[in-house]
């Protein structure tokens, strides 16, 4: 009997201990959360601002929430009884006093409106009862960098609708808010005698997305494109690890005013860096790589009379009207972008070997960005199982026909040549960090594979250098800034506009020469040629990056 009594007493003491722990938890640990929840239940409120995690560059520089927006908070009951206040707010909001009075009378809840900094100062100077100003972060605006990648949020600012904002909604949405409200009784009737209140639930630890982008490189790219590119894309990749340092598309858009772009025929919301296009002569990198890997010597020569003929079909070189290039070896054919040379080289290499090499260099498959929440294309390679004609092989060898490549794939292909034959998985999102910059979770999963020999890569580097120094890529030269190498491309689209054929212009290259570090693809939609339209953009961006000491 005594033993049973001791067990019951022990059980009661244990239960009392658990109760004490729970009370302590409620009061000390969760007390603030319960207080906030109770306040929100007692108050009828309006949300002024919803806090959201930042999207950061590789160095922790904010790409979002860089501006401040003043919000006017009006206490309807106070303002409706103030003639000077009604007059001031009517002037500031540019609405009649009758309309303003009607809006304020609809509800006793606080009324909010975005205003300028000058208007905020005027309200502060007036010192009128019933008016307050709260400064909140602006998620994005016309100055926001990389909007095609970052994406945009809804009007309330609490839900990502595209880009990284959407892909990482669950991570970025952690945070508090700022509210304005009035106390209500049990029947939900407003108790104006207790006045209006503004309070916040800020201070919750946010989670931020750290990207691989470099804020300063991205700024250079977008500033240059604003001056030199009407429609197109630029991608810069770190050749050592596959990090995307800058990525931009034009025309751009203001992510704060999305509706105005929805029916724009220029499609500013479309990310051309992730679009798929006929590559044209930048694909000669693939054909040359396939030839070298097959054991074909770069000393192999072909004659270019300005065309190659197959059964009465003439496939023209761009020098057709001037009589052709004459006799060229592989480096000369590459640097001069001779179609005749590469059509003949394609016959030596074969369709299967060319397409296999294209896949090795990352074309026809995803780069790895899909693992990080980026919807990327695969590109397009022709079916390799049929028996092609000589003309079809020639067409593929010069980057025409059933081939589609994205600018991001072209940049990664170029990185393979620059780094000695290694294909990296591309990265755009590095990790999730808290507000102290501490790494919470890794997103980036580095991966690489050797896809061509170092000897082949070295030969191609020489051809790309020759292209800039003595060939079609002269306008991409950055002598004095470390030098550059690359390949021009002018792709036939088959489209006609205003009685002229539309061409897509490309330049895919890398810099500096002695110790290559950055691969860049410049794509110009409806350009004149890679040499004229794309190469100068490459030169401007790469020279400015080197000038900054990168």
Residue-wise pLDDT tens digits, 395-426: 999 999 999 999 999 999 999 999 999 999 99
* 196-200 and 177-183 strand pairing: antiparallel
Q: Which residue has the tokens 């290259």?
A: 509
Q: Is 90 exceeded by the pLDDT of residue 85?
A: no
What single-letter DSSP state applies at residue 425? P
Q: Is the peptide bond before 122 cis (omega within 30 degrees of 0)?
A: no
Residue 375 burial (CB count, 10 A): 13
CA distance 81 to 93: 18
Average confidence (pLDDT) over 99-104: 86
Q: Kindly report the average pLDDT of the chain as a whole number.
A: 90
* 422-424 and 307-310 strand pairing: unpaired
Q: Is 60 exceeded by the pLDDT of residue 50?
A: yes
CA distance 81 to 445: 62
Specify the pLDDT at position 42.
63
Specify the pLDDT at position 30.
54
In this predicted model, what pLDDT tens digit does every residue of 356-367 receive, in sequence order? 999 999 999 999
When pLDDT is cut at 50, 70 and 90, the band that residue 181 belongs to is: confident
In this predicted model, what pLDDT tens digit does every residue of 493-506 receive, in sequence order? 878 777 778 899 99
In this predicted model, what pLDDT tens digit does every residue of 210-251 receive, in sequence order? 999 999 999 999 999 999 999 999 999 999 999 999 999 999
Q: Are 335 and 285 in contact (CB under 8 A)?
A: no
Specify the pLDDT at position 195.
60
Q: Is 80 exceeded by the pLDDT of residue 159?
A: yes
Closest CA to 47 of 66, 71, 78, 77: 71
Q: Is 60 exceeded by the pLDDT of residue 78?
A: yes
**CA–CA distances in Å: residue 374 to residues 160, 207, 377:** 14, 19, 10
Tokens of 418: 């620059």
Specify the pLDDT at position 182.
73
List the single range of 111-115, 201-205, 270-274, 454-458 with lowest mean pLDDT.
201-205
Average confidence (pLDDT) over 200-204: 79
Q: Which residue has the tokens 């927006």?
A: 69
Specify the pLDDT at position 241.
97
Q: Which residue has the tokens 């690890």?
A: 241
Specify the pLDDT at position 413.
98
Average confidence (pLDDT) over 455-478: 97
Average confidence (pLDDT) over 83-101: 87
Q: Which residue has the higher pLDDT, 476 or 42?
A: 476
In the three-class reduction of DSSP (H, G, I as helix; E, B as strand; rest coil), residue 297 is classed as: coil
Q: Which residue has the higher pLDDT, 370 or 124?
A: 370
Q: What share of the chain in percent tops pLDDT 90?
A: 67
Structural domains in the chain plus CATH codes: 66-137+177-203 (no CATH), 215-547 (3.40.710.10)
The pTM of the full predicted model, rounded to 2 decimals, is 0.87
Q: Is the peptide bond before 512 cis (omega within 30 degrees of 0)?
A: yes
Average confidence (pLDDT) over 525-530: 94
Specify the pLDDT at position 222.
98
CA distance 273 to 275: 6
Q: Which residue has the tokens 């108790």?
A: 191
In this predicted model, what pLDDT tens digit does every residue of 469-486 receive, in sequence order? 999 999 999 999 999 999
Average confidence (pLDDT) over 139-151: 96
CA distance 512 to 493: 32
Specify the pLDDT at position 180.
77
Q: Is 60 exceeded by the pLDDT of residue 43?
A: yes
In the three-class reduction of DSSP (H, G, I as helix; E, B as strand; rest coil), residue 503 is classed as: strand
């Amino acid at each position: 009997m005594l033993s049973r009594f001791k067990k019951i007493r022990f059980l009661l003491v244990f239960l009392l201990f658990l109760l004490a722990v729970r009370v302590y938890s409620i009061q000390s640990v969760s007390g603030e959360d319960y207080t906030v929840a109770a306040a929100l239940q007692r108050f009828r409120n309006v949300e002024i601002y919803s806090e959201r995690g930042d999207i950061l560059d590789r160095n922790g520089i904010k790409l979002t929430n860089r501006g401040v927006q003043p919000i006017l908070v009006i206490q309807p009951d106070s303002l409706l009884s103030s003639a000077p206040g009604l007059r001031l707010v009517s002037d500031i909001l540019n609405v009649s006093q009758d309309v303003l009075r009607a809006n304020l009378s609809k509800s006793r809840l606080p009324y909010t409106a975005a205003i300028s900094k000058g208007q905020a100062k005027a309200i502060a100077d007036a010192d009128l009862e019933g008016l307050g100003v709260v400064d909140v972060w602006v998620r994005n605006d016309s100055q926001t960098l990389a909007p095609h990648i970052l994406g945009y949020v809804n009007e309330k600012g609490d839900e990502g609708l595209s880009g990284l904002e959407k892909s990482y909604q669950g991570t970025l949405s952690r945070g508090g808010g700022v509210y304005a409200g009035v106390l209500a009784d049990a029947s939900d009737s407003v108790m104006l005698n207790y006045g209006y209140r503004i309070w916040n639930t800020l201070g919750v630890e946010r989670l931020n997305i750290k990207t691989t982008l470099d804020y300063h490189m991205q700024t250079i790219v977008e500033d240059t494109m604003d001056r030199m590119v009407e429609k197109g894309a630029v991608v810069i990749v770190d050749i050592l690890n596959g990090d995307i340092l800058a990525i931009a598309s034009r025309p751009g858009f203001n992510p704060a005013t999305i509706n105005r772009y929805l029916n724009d025929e220029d499609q500013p919301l479309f990310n051309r860096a992730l679009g798929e296009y006929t590559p044209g002569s930048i694909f000669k990198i693939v054909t040359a790589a396939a030839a070298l890997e097959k054991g074909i010597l770069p000393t192999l020569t072909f004659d270019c009379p300005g065309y190659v003929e197959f059964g009465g079909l003439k496939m023209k070189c761009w020098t057709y009207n001037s009589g052709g290039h004459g006799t060229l070896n592989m480096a000369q054919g590459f640097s001069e972008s001779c179609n005749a040379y590469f059509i003949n080289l394609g016959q030596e290499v074969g369709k299967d070997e060319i397409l296999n090499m294209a896949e090795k260099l990352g074309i026809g498959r995803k780069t790895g960005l899909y693992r990080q929440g980026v919807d990327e294309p695969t590109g397009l390679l022709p079916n390799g199982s049929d028996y092609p004609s000589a003309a079809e092989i020639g067409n593929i060898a010069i980057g025409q026909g059933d081939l589609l490549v994205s600018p991001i794939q072209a940049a990664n292909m170029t990185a393979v040549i620059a780094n000695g034959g290694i294909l990296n998985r591309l990265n755009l999102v590095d990790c999730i960090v808290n507000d102290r910059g501490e790494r919470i979770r890794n997103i980036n999963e580095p991966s690489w594979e050797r896809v061509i020999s170092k000897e082949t890569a070295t030969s191609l580097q020489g051809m790309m250098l020759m292209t800039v120094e003595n060939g079609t890529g002269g306008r991409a030269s950055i002598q004095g800034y470390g030098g550059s190498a690359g390949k021009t491309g002018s792709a036939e689209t088959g489209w006609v506009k205003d009685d002229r054929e539309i061409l897509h212009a490309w330049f895919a290259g890398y810099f500096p020469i002695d110790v290559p570090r950055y691969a860049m693809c410049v794509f110009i939609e409806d350009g004149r040629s890679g040499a004229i339209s794309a190469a100068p953009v490459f030169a401007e961006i790469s020279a400015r990056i080197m000038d900054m000491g990168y």
